[in-house]
Amino acid sequence: MASGYDPKEIEKKWQEVWAATKLYATTDDSNKPKTYVLDMFPYPSGEGLHVGHPKGYIATDVYARHMRMRGHSVLHPMGWDAFGLPAENFAIKTKIHPRVAVEKNIARFKEQLAGIGFDYDWSREINTTDPAYYTWTQWIFLQMFKKGLAFQSNEPINWCPSCMTGLANEDLDGTVCERCGTEVEKKSLPQWVLKITAYADRMLADLDSLRWPEHIKEAQRNWIGRSEGAHIEFSIAGSDKKIKVFTTRPDTLFGATYMVLAPEHALVKELPISNRADVDAYVASASAKSEIERTDAGKDKTGVELKGVKAMNPANKEEIPVYVADYVLGGYGTGAIMAVPAHDERDYEFAKKFNIPIVQVIEPKFFGSKEVIEKKFGTTRGDEVRPDMEFVRREAVCAVVRNPKDDTYLCVSWKSNHMNGLVTGGIEAGEDIVEAARREVAEETGYKNLKFVRTSPVAINTFFYHRVKKQNRWAHFTFVFFDLENDECQAIDEQETALHEIVWKKKEELKSFFTVFEGDFVVDLLNDREYVHTGPGMLSNSGTFNRLDSEEAKKKITELVGGVLTTTYKLKDWVFSRQRYWGEPIPIIHCEKCGAVGVPEKDLPVLLPEVTSYEPSGTGESPLATIAEWVNTTCPECNGPAKRETNTMPQWAGSSWYYLRFIDPQNSEALVAKDKEKFWAPVDVYVGGDHAVRHLIYARFWHKFLYDIGSVSTIEPFARLEFLGFILAEDGRKMSKRHGNIIDPQTVVAEYGADTFRVYEMFMGPFENTVAWSTTSIVGTKRFIKRVWKAAELVQDAPATDLDTPLHQTIKKVGDDIETFKFNTAVSQMMIFLNELEKSGSIGKEQWQSFLQLLAPFAPHVTEELWARLGNASSVHLSQWPQFDEKKILASVVEVAVQVNGKVRGSVLLHPDATEAQALSAARADTNVAKWLSGGSEKKAVYVKGRIVSFVVEQS
């Protein structure tokens, strides 16, 4: 009889054994395949860990243990991202040195982690605030400085008046500081900036090679925000000044009917404006407005015309007005736009409000090639464009007739070829468009009392093959909207009646009803009275460019007006200085004679000096600036008097390369030794969530730089990324001190044991899902572990043959599921196996060992104990992962459901290799199936091997 399951005792015992035997020491053993598994390392906050933090750590632990059992050399390290504002703000409040607070927090974190039973090799622990670590952070900065990728700038930056430091765009939450929520200001300070934009295209392109969740890749793309377009200059009448704009749509230039300058734009001050007072007032009110108000996309457009100023549209040489408006942002593109109200919703809204002309220059184009039609309808209908035929262009009209009584639309359905559409027809020479539409409606449908509502400003071009006229047609459709006044009908020509029938359809039925391929567009048009066509198309009202495709026109029109095709990014260069104490000193010395000089590499690290006060000066200088003996130094180049750079690096610096240091944490010669880097890099699986987008951008940027200077051998740092879903408190809110709903993992481990805790976190739901903690549900996994404990009593020498199939299915599923991070179903499969085991009543020793091995990555302590009790001398965690036998996965008999007319009427037991004939006859022999078959004549019978038998019976 085994004694009762006591997690406290066995967990402590094995953790001590593992530590004493250095069971998890990482070996750089290049004879084995390698796996590098990494969590986003934590910031050791004063709050300690809550049960949400270890979820990712458990996942990587399971994955790492499993890969080790599969014979891999495994690197699974842990460390601390310990620079940053919270520790510093705490220091300001308490006068305790941030280093002291950080050490204390780390000790607490380690204590909390210790009880969970991770397989970290603590000899590789790193800490970003350790001089032996940050010397290499500074070294990387120096290499960037040498390559001109780190440079000084005086441009106005975001300044948080509360944190008293400059911030990168990425540190903002909209327009407020993401740490303290204070509205940021613009401030001009000398800043260090990293040229991350130089890597934008590579960061974009190399995403394709990564095994990352699509939504994270998409977030990276959005963050980089590449857009291709052109810079175009507009001259100003009576001035030599020019307005330079960036546009992604140079093809719409002929439709640019006004221009807008951002309130911050330099020209607003410089131009000879006759209503100066109004303009200045507007600019002042725009800058006074909180940026949240200003950038709220939903709000009404505001702006003021610059009177006395006219710009010239370089395409059609027309004079157009210039406005200042805050819907144009100073920080993007050139801070000025050409406005094309016909093809941009924001410009449209503004133009409507200020009565500015709207000129359509792009007409939607629907080209009915064979491919397009096949893709949309899955089949061709004979109206596809004939590739070798000329097009005959016709002016045409499309009548949109609404019956206001029941809100339905008049449609016609052609009998001969199943075409469903609206009433359309050609416009006769000299005929008015609206008259033509009325005539077509009357001829085709008989309705004659129509109230004209509007014509759509947007015309479209449809290219198709006219089956009756046997020619390629290019129909230029204008839309005319009517309301039906009454049902009065005139007689329709019999010929017409024979061709088609009339149907009234509700708006929401139209999309599926239409079989003309411009149908979707027509529905959009009637859904949206203010429809603005922002897509591609065919040019109109554009002089010699008319009828050109918009894509081609982009280049040609840019050339015409002397513009330059160019690419811009949302991503801005990275403002890299912080005016704070607790960060890596930027290793630069300012000399009056030599300028900014890099600290020689032999003098690294530039140690963070001791200070008496951690307060930022508030003048834009860091606390370091107050330490004269540290600041004053000599220039490494001319030996003259010089001053140290007093700004520090942002918290992101240390985390941008830490994954490399784990590979070779003690190296004092290089940030990582080449051979070790070659062996371990890249990170095979990287796990995290939350602020991942920015961290990933920065780390990828640094990594690519390190690749360029030969420090690393891979172009990307993280080959595979798994996104972590968070754990919420039981009340569904985030766990926080403020809500008082934090659950400490130590409490849970003390009450349920580490193995239960680990299995529960993996079983809670899909790994990427956000799930609320549940103190009631965790007992389920506790029961499971206890039942495993008890099942050890069922072990016998002889294998239980009835467990062969479930065991081998479980081996396969658990292995596959760990590989794909589907831990919840891996656990559930092991529960299923345990149920089978208990039902069977006995299990062979070998089978039991295999099961323990499968469970070992999830519940390392209890499995180690039971493994040892079987007489194994070495650890289960170093044992070899069990192999499944394909043959044993297949059961010797399978239960196959039998359907009659789609309903399950019985099931039959079949050999997996049974033939269709055998399956069908067995199915027919089932009494209940026979009953349902006897009601009629059998039309069809299907057998899908091992799955299903399906009969179709026609009732007689």
Positions in 896-955 near RNA (CB under 7 A) = 896-897, 899, 901-904, 907, 928, 940, 942, 944, 947-948, 950, 952
182 vs 928, which CB is nearer to RNA? 928
Query: Are 578 and 568 in contact, with CB atoms under 8 Å apart?
Result: no
Q: Candidates 536, 609, 636, 765: give the one binding RNA (CB under 7 A).
A: 765
Q: Which of 822, 865, 866, 877 binds RNA (CB under 7 A)?
A: 822
Round to whole Å and give the CA distance between 771 and 765: 7
Angle among Cα 793, 1, 786 to the nearest 5 degrees reads 55
What radius of gyration, in Å, describes the C-alpha atoms of the chain? Answer: 36
| Residues 861/754, Cβ–Cβ less than 8 Å | yes
**Residue in 542, 781, 853, 875 binding RNA, rule: CB under 7 A:** 781
852 vs 425: CA distance, rounded Å:
77
CB nearer to RNA: pick between 550 and 899:
899
**Does position 257 bind RNA by CB under 7 A?**
no
Q: Exposed (0-12), middle (13-18) or buried (19+): which is 680, by Cβ within 10 Å?
A: buried
- Whether the CB-CB separation of 479 and 525 falls below 8 Å is answered with yes
Q: Is 490 in the site for RNA (CB under 7 A)?
A: no
* Residue 946, number of CB atoms within 10 A of its CB: 16
Minimum CB distance to RNA smaller for 193 or for 436: 193
771 lines the binding site for RNA (CB under 7 A): yes
Smallest separation (angstroms) from RNA to the CB of 296: 6
Q: What letter would DSSP give residue 262?
A: -
User: For RNA, which stretch binds (CB under 7 A), given 149-157, 245-253, 313-321, 865-873?
Assistant: 245-253
* Cβ 60 vs Cβ 685: under 8 Å: yes
The nearest distance, CB 64 to RNA, in angstroms, is 22
Instruction: Count CB-CB contacts under 10 A for residue 656.
Output: 26
Of residues 318-347, which lie at the interface with RNA (CB under 7 A)? 326-330, 332-337, 344, 346
**Rounded to the nearest whole angstrom, what is the least distance from the CB of residue 683 to RNA in the complex?**
23
Token look-up 């467990």 returns 803
Helix 754-763 / helix 7-20 crossing angle, nearest 10 deg: 90
By the rule CB under 7 A, 218 interacts with RNA: yes
Member of 162, 209, 769, 874 binding RNA (CB under 7 A)? 769
Taking the complex as a whole, the smallest distance from the CB of residue 902 to RNA amounts, in Å, to 4
Choice from 508, 552, 938, 954 touching RNA (CB under 7 A): 508
Cα–Cα distance, 122 to 708 (Å, whole number)? 31
Pure H helices in 603-753: 628-631, 652-655, 658-661, 674-680, 692-708, 745-752
- Is the Cβ of residue 264 or residue 363 nearer to RNA in the bound state? 264
Encoded tokens for 584: 């890596």
Choose, by CB under 7 A, the member of 89, 197, 227, 275 that binds RNA: 227
Token output for 542: 């554009």
Q: Classify 598 as helix, strand or coil.
A: strand
- CB distance 857 to 61 below 8 Å: yes
Q: Is the CB of residue 169 less than 8 Å from the CB of residue 700? A: no
| Among the residue ranges 19-27, 450-458, 490-498, 771-779, the one whose residues contact RNA (CB under 7 A) | 771-779
**Comparison of 37 and 896: residue with beta carbon closer to RNA:** 896
Binding mask 675-714 for RNA (x = CB under 7 A): ------------------x---------------------
Site for RNA in 341-380 (CB under 7 A): 344, 346
- Which of 24, 465, 773, 784 binds RNA (CB under 7 A)? It is 784
Closest approach of RNA to the CB of residue 752, in Å? 10
Q: Interface residues for RNA in 178-197 (CB under 7 A)?
A: none
How far from chain centre, in Å, is Cα 600?
Answer: 41
Nearer to RNA by C-beta: 203 or 442? 203
Cα separation of 905 and 521, whole Å?
A: 47
CB 502 within 8 A of CB 414: no
Binding-site size for RNA (CB under 7 A) equals: 86
Q: How far is the CB of 291 from RNA (least distance, A)?
A: 8
The answer to whether 412 and 421 are in contact (CB under 8 A) is yes
Identify the residue among 1, 20, 277, 297 touching RNA (CB under 7 A): 297
Stretch that binds RNA, among 9-17, 383-391, 609-617, 775-783 (CB under 7 A): 775-783
* Least separation in angstroms between CB 474 and RNA: 26
Residues 556-585 that bind RNA (CB under 7 A): 570
